[in-house]
Amino acid sequence: MPLGRPRVVLSPQSPTADPRTAVFHSDPTTRPPPYKPTPRPPKPRSRDASSDRDLNYFHAFASGEYVVGEPFVPQATLALHLFSGTDTHTFPIAERLTLGPATGAPYYAVRATPNTLSALEYNTLIVSRRHPLRLVSEDVCVADIQPRLNLFAQGIHKIGKILRVARSAKSRNDEEYVVTWSNGTMGPLDGSWCLWQGARAVAHFYEERGFRGLDEDPGKDIIRAKSPPDLNIRGIGPPDFTNPRTTVEDLAYLDFETQVPLFVSSNPQAHALMDVIVAALFMLLTVTTRKAAVIRQQEEAAWQHGGPPPSYTG
């Protein structure tokens, strides 16, 4: 005969007699926090790299092969991934950076070489551009970085000069540009890199969140190249600049929030100056990365002698 269970009689209880339900929820001091769903992280921005057709157009435009009257392609967008092949265990460090659709297919490449002004740094950057169909590279810019830079001091600093190689036989003269960094004395231009051709501002570069070099963690940063806004040359004193950060349209930008850092330029005004813009960007990345390495070495040395732990970690 199977064993039966004793019948259990449940009697209703008042809310005040049951501490598990009504009393718990009615008391605001013991009420549990409301449910908040965990927000999903934002999807990183992504864009397909430029095709060979687009790269062929940009190569023809930058090298002066574009003939007036041919169908213009204003919707063409230059999108290239940034790759670093720098050996950081050798000294002096010779930077190796490329911009291209893939690691082994660089469209732009830069290599640091020694010069006669400094034996402790490789301060000459050779920028080359490769034809997307012929796969032949040619040097388009030579950027010389000033030796013994001190970017911590106040004032306007000349970072270096960029010599653009003659693009065609018709234009045999090389074009010279200057890159400056302003710190504390230029008002709206403070914290920005300026590209000049003579007395004319060509582009302004600035970091949105404080870029700390390629050796740190630039996963949430973006570097923008803006066209110069209003420039009012006054008779006395320095020129009056408008903040380039207020310019709506970018000449180009380097986005580190993508899975692989992505350089994008959709502005037709930048197509003819792309070689110089890329050379200035390579100079910015090189100088900023070296500056971050110096700060890191100083903080690590102070930490070993009882100072605070390094804070410049990106």
Q: Is residue 80 part of a domain?
A: yes
Is residue 98 predicted with pLDDT exceeding 50?
yes
Residue 128 has pLDDT above 90, yes or no: yes
pTM (two decimals): 0.75
**E strand or H helix at 276, and its extent?**
helix 274-304
**Cα 215 from chain centroid (whole Å):** 13
CB count within 10 Å of CB 50 equals 23
Q: Within a domain: residue 47? A: no
Q: Is 22 within the bounds of a domain?
A: no
Query: Is residue 114, in this structure, part of any structural domain at all?
Result: yes
Please give the pLDDT value at position 173: 60
Residue 79 confidence (pLDDT): 93
Examine residue 138 and state whether it is found in any structural domain, yes or no. yes
pLDDT tens across 265-300, in order?
Answer: 988 888 888 999 999 999 999 988 888 777 777 777
Residue-wise pLDDT for 22-70, tens only, equals 444 555 566 666 666 665 554 546 678 888 888 988 888 888 776 555 5
CB environment 125-159: b (16+ within 10 A), e (fewer)? bbbbbbbbeeeeeeebbbbbbbeebeeeeeeebeb
Q: Which two tokens stand for residue 235?
A: 């008779």
Estimate the crossing angle of helix 52-62 against helix 274-304, to 10 degrees. Answer: 100
Asked, for residue 13, whether it belongs to a domain, the answer is no
Alpha carbon 144 to its chain centroid, in Å, reads 20
225-234 residue pLDDT tens: 988 765 444 4
Whether 313 has a pLDDT exceeding 50, the answer reads: no
Q: What are phi and psi of 250, to 5 degrees?
A: -90, 145
Within a domain: residue 241? yes
- Does residue 38 fall inside a structural domain? no
Per the structure, the complete domain to which residue 66 belongs is given by 52-298
For the chain, the domain total comes to: 1
pLDDT digits (tens, 9 = 90+) for 245-268: 776 678 999 998 888 899 999 888
Question: Any idea what DSSP says for residue 134?
Answer: T
